[in-house]
Amino acid sequence: MSLTNASGLTQQLANPRGLAWVVGIFALAFLSWTKFASVMDEYEIGILIGTSAGLAAFGLAWRSMQTLFTIVLLMALAGIGSYAGIEIGAGADKVMATAEKAFFLKFLFSSQSAIMWMNALFVLAMLTYFFALWKDSSFSGKVATSLTWSAVAFGFAGLGVRWYESYLINPDYGHIPVSNLYEVFIVFALVTAVLYLYYEQKANTKALGGFVLAVISAAVGFILWYTFGREAHVIQPLVPALKSYWMKIHVPANFVGYGTFALAAMIAIPYLWRSKLEATGKTDSVLLTRLPTLAVMDDVMYKAIAFGFAFFTIATVLGALWAAEAWGGYWSWDPKETWALIVWLNYAAWLHFRMSKGWRGPVMAWWALGGLLVTTFAFLGVNMFLSGLHSYGTL
Amino acid sequence: MEKKHSLRHHPLLTFLGSMNLAITLLVMLAVASVIGTVLKQNEAYASYVIKFGPFWFEVFRNLELYDVYSAIWFLAVLAFLLASISACVWRNGAHFAKDMVSFQEDKHPAQLKKMNLSAHWTTNTAPAHIIERAITSIQAQGFKTKTEEKGNSQLIAAKKGSAHRLGYFFTHLAIIVICLGALLDSNLKFKFQEWAGMVEPETRSLALTDVNPKANLASDNFSFRGSVNIPEGKSADVVFLTFKDGYLVQKLPFEVKVVDFRVEHYDTGMPKSFESDIILIAPDLKEPIKATLSVNKPLFYKDYAIYQSSFGDGGSTLKLNAYPLSALNSSASELAGEIHRDIPLNTPIGNYKVELDDYKPNNIIPLPEPDANGKKVKNLGPSVQFKVRDGAGQAVEYENYLLAIDRAQAWYQVSKFRKSRAQEFDFLMIPLDTNQSMKRFMTFLSLVNDQKGLDKVLDESIAQETDATKRDQLMTQKRFMQQLVNLFRARGFDGIRGYLDQAVGADKREAVFEQYLEILTVAMQSLYLKTLEVEGIKNKTEATEAERRFFADSIEAINLLAHYGPPMFFEITSIDQRESSGLQITKSPGKNVVFLGSFMLIVGVFLLFYVRPQRIWLWVNQNEHGESEVILAGKDGKDDSQLQDAFSNLLQQNQSATTPSEEPAHVTH
């Protein structure tokens, strides 16, 4: 993802839609501030301003973001509005009963329903993408893209409503839904999907959709098992160590990293496939006409990893800053920390080989694919097999 | 200059600064880190011995695998990495810096023509006009320009995104800065001091005054990270640093007093927050500092940071009743104790030590189904964890609940116990009588213990039997009954089974066991009726449902007593809680260095990825026909396609601005 240069943003700002977008975002931020200032500390106000600026810029750089945000906002408000009958702190039972009764909540916008829609739509999108690739159907490709967008909208709306539900259950419980393994898996699926949609639009790579959605569908599988097998979807209060504004920035930044690394790994699969076809001289394969060229896939892989690496660096530094405040030291060699370092070292090495030595081709693609194993272990394996300070989601 | 140049190409530096070495070191670092996460670090050495056996324990210890991240070899890898990065910066730095500043105005027309992005054409427009127009258009694209004249020709050299090279410096220097910062805070100096014989960790848990003097660190130590538990109302001027298989005692230049400690809980029983009111007293402070610490809200004082990190018991005092379980009377003796202290017990059956470990004010457990109030959890109330250790050093671990616990409308006194940490806890549930007391059970138990009494009780109960043949049968079985009761009391059902395993063939065992059980039940029932009689419940023809259940529960409890450890039961009658606050105190001079490095790293990464080093050249030469020959060329780091659009723009603007001569423009992309 190339950061659109400042002049590009200014140009966008000059057109009425761009201006309306920026004004709208900051108006919303102001509204939120007037409503919630009493419960926000100065850091949270800073995060609100920073998030708004980031969102405004993102929307200017990528128009589709504007549409997505507006739809998510409306969906989440519909969900929150449907809870109008009960008050903050009403308790889990009342929230559940309302979610079961009100039509909108039951079928669409309670956090559970919305997340289930997200799950279903992601899997459907994957199947449709593959169908489109198989049949070379551009219509099916468009349907798949729309399904992915819809899944993303439901997912974000679901998280938004879940945030509100946590306060409805008990103001003491209230927290942004990025606090445990269940919640971050949803974040992971959403971030990966949004990043994919960005590249799909910029590089016209619908043929890659199925591969990327496959890793998202795997995440969906985990979410389903975690929900039905372990009841992990139940909103739990936060442990004292997580009660900090840092969580709001550290966790999402991390998941931009995880999401892009997963995205790059999944693109490595069609890359390897294609390079094998080309190497073995099977020039008559239809896949060669349907899959993007190696150069395009290589470029998307590199851009994704570079972008993810930058965010992963930020996330790790934010983590160190937080640890210095909560655990008494910026680095404790906690298993999660250590694995984050391993992931960082892995991609640092990958980027060195590409940037300094100019390495391309199957080796780098295999490496990107292998990176997913390292990333998955850092993200999931550590919680499953190792214990430490970061024990916020166990299996 | 010549010397420096040769130094830069010294084979050692070339080796150190090579990327292959750097990547190898990164991989080694990663692998070493994996070991540190798989093998639990800094545990008690004893637990490693159990895990690996004495041989591998020694091997791993020598490899310093129990504290990988401060192992000498790990630090050596880090040092090599630092050397490698430094050599890399040293080797490339000057070249990169020159490249960053330079406009590369020395490019020849032939070189420009060979570039991927290059176009040349001839025009009648005067060179001065072309140059003027070109400078404006190139600068409009955000480039900095420099113009050079060489005889008849002029060259505009332009560059943009030189900060990309800064990104290289920032990222690589950042790693060096971070490592140096971390070095300041590492325990390398302790390792050195230990090696030099100045420091030696203390492995025993002792009173402060008895600690090995070599484990004491003076208050001028410039960096440390330690922790201390301070009971409410008490103060401390030291922290404990874990080091190797023991600890070091770090003296502080101030004193911290914990005035009050508070924990708040969620309705699920999870702790919601914990905080301490503290007073910091230092000789150079006029007024002591009063502050409230909580998780995520430390107190910073000078170079020190004080964190709320944990909580525990700070020596709650308690009163207990000790019931002798093998005695012939059911009276208890009163004891007093304090958490974290031992109570010595000298009894007729030997000397014991009761080690009071911890007091838990709440025990919240999840319920399989919500209760009548819709609550999904239940608070079993407070409990005390303790060990009873015999003269030989063998200990059994217990956790006794203070309050009676109900199960299906009956009440019990509950005690969890296990003989080794590897085992799960067993639950001893002593049924309570109608007065909610253990009296009936203890009476029953003392009758079971009393062999002579048993003889009498059996006689009485046999005498009551009206059926003569049955009475005779019982008489013949009497001795056997006594033996069975004794065996059951001593070793439980397992004892009876163990006896049958030796005495009876496998095919008949189960049937015989059933028979024995019936006989045992008759005897125990007689004792139970006697118990009720003692209690004043007499001449009952039929036992109530509750009494039957009490009997069954008692048999179950007595069965477990065989495994319960030393024959005593401790009932905690009262407790006066005193909490302690776990504080972590650090002095971390490297912290800000590390943060500076981190900041450099982030800036550097963004410069590297998102600033493109781009260059444009425009060369104009007036030939002998008075025409202007123009070359426009461009370059973008390693990926010229990123400059394509800007180049095409410039080409269009500058070409259209000139009146073409006959020769058509020649463009290569």
Instruction: Express each pLDDT in A313-330 by its tens digit.
Output: 999 999 999 998 888 889
Note whether B338 and B349 are same-domain residues.
Answer: yes
* Domains contained in chain B, number: 5
Residue B603 lies in a domain: no
> pLDDT tens digits, residue range B598-633?
999 999 999 999 898 999 999 999 888 888 899 999
Note whether B339 and B329 are same-domain residues.
Answer: yes
Q: Summarize the confidence of residues A211-236 as an average pLDDT.
A: 92
Question: Looking at the predicted structure, is the pLDDT value of residue A244 above 60?
Answer: yes
Helix boundaries (H) for B619-667: 644-656
Please tell me if residue B195 touches chain A, with a CB cutoff of 8 Å: no
Residue B180 lies in a domain: no
Q: Which residues of A touch B225 (CB under 8 A)?
A: 328-329
Picking from B539, B564, B589, the residue at the C-terminal end of a domain is: B564
Note whether B92 and B113 are same-domain residues.
Answer: no
Q: Is B36:B69 a contact under the CB 8 Å cutoff?
A: yes
- Give the pairing type, strands B395-401 and B410-418: antiparallel
CATH number for the domain that contains residue B156: 3.30.160.110
Note whether B300 and B204 are same-domain residues.
Answer: yes
The predicted complex's ipTM stands at 0.91
Residue B24 lies in a domain: yes
Note whether B295 and B389 are same-domain residues.
Answer: no
Please tell me if residue A296 touches chain B, with a CB cutoff of 8 Å: no
Question: Looking at the predicted structure, is the pLDDT value of residue B268 above 80?
Answer: no
d(CA B364, CA B383): 11
Q: Which residues of A touch B227 (CB under 8 A)?
A: 328
Residue B169 lies in a domain: no
Residue A390 pLDDT class (50, 70, 90 cuts): low
Residue A70 pLDDT class (50, 70, 90 cuts): very high
Q: Is B71:B77 a contact under the CB 8 Å cutoff?
A: no
DSSP three-state, residue B642: helix
Q: Summarize the confidence of residues B401-428 as an average pLDDT.
A: 89
Residue B157 lies in a domain: yes
Q: Which residues of B touch A388 (CB under 8 A)?
A: 37
**B439-B442-B446 Cα angle (round to 5):** 140
| Disruptive mutation site among A180, A247, A317 for chain B (greatest number of B CBs within 10 Å) | A317
d(CA B263, CA B311): 9
> pLDDT tens digits, residue range B52-72?
888 888 898 888 888 888 888
Please tell me if residue A331 touches chain B, with a CB cutoff of 8 Å: yes
Residue B391's pLDDT is: 87
Which of A 75-104 lie inside 8 A of B, CB atoms? Answer: 93
Question: Looking at the predicted structure, is the pLDDT value of residue A94 above 80?
Answer: yes
Q: Which residues of B touch A57 (CB under 8 A)?
A: none
> pLDDT tens digits, residue range B535-576?
887 666 677 888 889 999 999 999 999 889 888 999 999 999
Tell me which residue range forms the domain holding B144. Answer: 103-161+612-669
> pLDDT tens digits, residue range B82-104?
999 998 888 888 888 988 899 99
Q: Which two tokens stand for residue B5?
A: 């140049």
Hunting for tokens 């060669």 — which residue is that? A288
Across the interface, whether the CB atoms of B295 and A335 are under 8 A apart is answered no
Across the interface, whether the CB atoms of B33 and A341 are under 8 A apart is answered yes
Residue B181 lies in a domain: no
Please state which of the ranges A67-71, A105-109, B508-512, B658-662 shows the lowest mean pLDDT. Answer: B658-662
Residue B319's pLDDT is: 94
Q: Summarize the confidence of residues A362-375 as an average pLDDT.
A: 94
Residue A197 pLDDT class (50, 70, 90 cuts): very high
**A131-A133-A134 Cα angle (round to 5):** 65
CA B467 to chain centre: 70
A114 HSE (CA, 13 A, CB side): 29
d(CA B426, CA B564): 9
Please tell me if residue B298 touches chain A, with a CB cutoff of 8 Å: yes
Across the interface, whether the CB atoms of A306 and B609 are under 8 A apart is answered yes
d(CA B276, CA B291): 8
> pLDDT tens digits, residue range B413-424?
999 999 887 788
How far does the CA of residue A92 sit from the closest CA of chain B (Å)?
10
Note whether B338 and B423 are same-domain residues.
Answer: yes
Note whether B194 and B204 are same-domain residues.
Answer: yes
Residue A188's pLDDT is: 96
Please tell me if residue A203 touches chain B, with a CB cutoff of 8 Å: no
d(CA A348, CA B503): 72
d(CA A116, CA A121): 8
Residue A3's pLDDT is: 43
Note whether B302 and B330 are same-domain residues.
Answer: no
Which of B 92-131 lie inside 8 A of A, CB atoms? Answer: none
Q: Is B408:B431 a contact under the CB 8 Å cutoff?
A: no
Residue A4 pLDDT class (50, 70, 90 cuts): very low
Residue A387's pLDDT is: 65
Note whether B303 and B403 are same-domain residues.
Answer: no
B575 HSE (CA, 13 A, CB side): 24
Residue of B30, B374, B608 with shortest CB distance to A342: B30
Residue of B142, B594, B605 with shortest CB distance to A313: B605
Residue A165 pLDDT class (50, 70, 90 cuts): very high
Note whether B409 and B498 are same-domain residues.
Answer: no
Residue of A170, A326, A386 with shortest CB distance to B296: A326
Note whether B269 and B288 are same-domain residues.
Answer: yes
User: Residue type at A317?
Assistant: V
Note whether B108 and B50 are same-domain residues.
Answer: no
Question: pTM of this prediction?
Answer: 0.84
| Disruptive mutation site among A345, A354, A363, A389 for chain B (greatest number of B CBs within 10 Å) | A345
> pLDDT tens digits, residue range B219-256?
888 889 999 999 999 999 999 998 887 899 999 999 99
> pLDDT tens digits, residue range B132-183?
889 999 999 889 999 988 888 899 999 999 899 999 999 999 999 999 998 8
Report which of A6, A49, A9 is spatially closest to residue A28, judged by C-alpha positions.
A49
Q: Is B336:B359 a contact under the CB 8 Å cutoff?
A: no
Residue-averaged pLDDT of chain B: 87
DSSP three-state, residue A192: helix
Which residues is B249 bridged to in the sheet? B216, B240
Q: Summarize the confidence of residues A135-145 as an average pLDDT.
A: 93
Residue B167 lies in a domain: no
Residue A388's pLDDT is: 65
Across the interface, whether the CB atoms of B270 and A170 are under 8 A apart is answered no
d(CA B322, CA B331): 9
Residue B177 lies in a domain: no
Residue B664 pLDDT class (50, 70, 90 cuts): low
Residue B665 pLDDT class (50, 70, 90 cuts): low
Q: Summarize the confidence of residues A45-52 as an average pLDDT.
A: 95
Q: Summarize the confidence of residues A217-238 as an average pLDDT.
A: 91
Residue of A5, A173, A317 with shortest CB distance to B602: A317
Give me the percent of chain B exceeding a pLDDT of 90. 38
Query: What φ, ψ does residue B475 adopt, rounded to 5°?
Result: -60, -45
Residue B666's pLDDT is: 65
Give me the percent of chain B exceeding a pLDDT of 70. 95
CATH number for the domain that contains residue B201: 2.60.98
Which of A 27-86 lie inside 8 A of B, CB atoms? Answer: none
Please state which of the ranges A18-22, A109-113, B168-172, B475-479 shows the lowest mean pLDDT. Answer: B475-479
d(CA B651, CA B645): 10
Across the interface, whether the CB atoms of B41 and A349 are under 8 A apart is answered no
Which of A 163-192 lie inside 8 A of B, CB atoms? Answer: 170, 172-173
Q: How far is CA A105 from CA A88, A153, A344, B116, in A?
A: 17, 15, 41, 59
How far does the CA of residue B187 sit from the closest CA of chain A (Å)?
13
Q: Cα Rg for chain A, rounded, in angstroms? A: 21
d(CA A154, CA A160): 10
> How many residue contacts between A and B have a Cβ separation below 8 Å?
123
Picking from B50, B78, B101, the residue at the C-terminal end of a domain is: B101
Give me the percent of chain A exceeding a pLDDT of 70. 96
Give me the percent of chain A exceeding a pLDDT of 90. 63
Query: What φ, ψ does residue A360 adopt, rounded to 5°?
Result: -135, -175
Helix boundaries (H) for B410-467: 439-449, 451-463
In which element (H, E) is residue B428 found? strand B426-431
